[in-house]
A and B are shown apart, each in its own frame.
Chain A
């Protein structure tokens, strides 16, 4: 049994539900048999990976799905051994070098060098021709690099060299959430493809497809308008992240006999925590609460939730709460407060990327916000 997200994942470019223009272009690229390095960016859950894998399938056929997982070991200059998972098919490799933290440069360099120096040889025709032919189509190997925005500067610089040096037999596809952390030289060496988050209507069309295939209508509201509203709510709540939306739709269905418009939506645990946190920052502006908040922050951080995501979510929550509930929090001039909060948030966001111990900066942000509110409260 697999999840709906996986079960209904389109495998070919033709079956993609939205962004048809991108699909068309990718198809054109794939049919030409060659393509440049790509930088695919867009918010998470927009379908970047799906599009890339579909175009690889277009290019190489279903062989790309015959995957194996290898564990490669690398040795750092300090003689520490690193283990690193590489997923590979005969035609491509998929790596997530940001897993290695500061050692990502070594991984990038060594691995790509190794890949680039072994020319891929096609043995599929060996029986008929008795001679391995270097298929023109398979002249290069594709390397998919996940979470490219998390690569260190060092690694990105190394990547840039590799791109130039081995461009004849290696093609890189970088996947990233935004281009802002990617250095200029790489951006200029790649073809940028932006995959935007699907609109609500597009998400609804995906939902409807699933509903049809899974025969879910009997569990959903009979009234069409109500049903649409419910689905819209799900899509909205999940920030137009398709993956998240489908998963949470499935979770909703699996845990309820019948879904009505009043059925509470599935809320992510950490997001709820951050909402409560934002609320408590606005209400309880005391030292005791700071201690309390520190525990919560430590908890979130220890669950590997990126500090910058925490900060971003907090700022958004605070912004929303200030706009909607300014009476509750006794805010005098909400626009000014909002501006100051965003300003503080951006300062500490930078510090998070510069510093190493996230807790200092997150706590600094909370206190600053508390002080802003303290000064502005009625």
Chain B
């Protein structure tokens, strides 16, 4: 019995694994990519700033008696100042005496040490990693007997992947935000069995229209919040109108979406150049970068927060509302949907409008990131956006796919690009690799649907 049972179990396990792979294959790929790039970017990391200060004070606590006298040595500038300030604060809180804080270059450090040499015994010199590399501490005890017993503490380097540094991860998310936001709309369009090639041009059009409105109507660099909102809204709405136009042509006249949106792509791109008079428009207020460069929520960039909120919203709409159901039904079988009372045309139309609006929003985010609007923005983005959707597992023939899959797809593209940047792969090679990844994703999709 056991003999016959075990192949059965093995079969079941294999089936389960295959299922997992089919359902969450792309998530797995994303995970593997992260692991891969973590391993290849493993590097010596020297802590700086507050983190370095905490490490040094920890070492102090372990190795030194209470009440020790110490000197803090650091350079100048943001991270160095933070190191000095945090370390001083922690040392005093722990009951040590900070005899002096020496900031600046090696010369200042030497002068400060010489000053203190006459003032009594110093137990510890705590230096930042920058200061730790200076020669002044070599043979210090020989030159100044007061320092004969002094310990020099430096932050210890550790090994950690460059890829997994918080700043890098946030960077990855921020860089993909525009593509990911636009890809939500594209997912809906592709779910209905269509395609929208105009999104890249709409990004440019929106950025230019928004920036121009702020420059010419709302007071340029002196524009207030209202002016900026007006500019953003105008950019987004124009793109929504463009979506309405493409969607109208598709639904009313039965023009293939590929052709209709190809035409819209040219119209939008040309309009962006006309509106911008071929230039980029920089006359926007400094506060305009809030959306693209700010990070107000626990250090998360605002664009990333916006992206996550939109994905959450889209996921709920697609899985919990009739609109979502209708989109899937239209893509799965438009005729059956129509005969079930689904307003097919209205659904298709609204999907193109949404896609336009989201492309417009993408354009505004991009303008905010770059603090200007230009007709050259978003070039080729339609392809990256479509790639994100397809890599995310949405079928180009419509009816099958998930919005959150697209987020995974966008992240896969971002991680590959970022990882290749970190490992010094040149940009031409990056394109080849990205192309191959899309091949692989479509192949995986094909294998999956063949089995299903």
A binds B: no
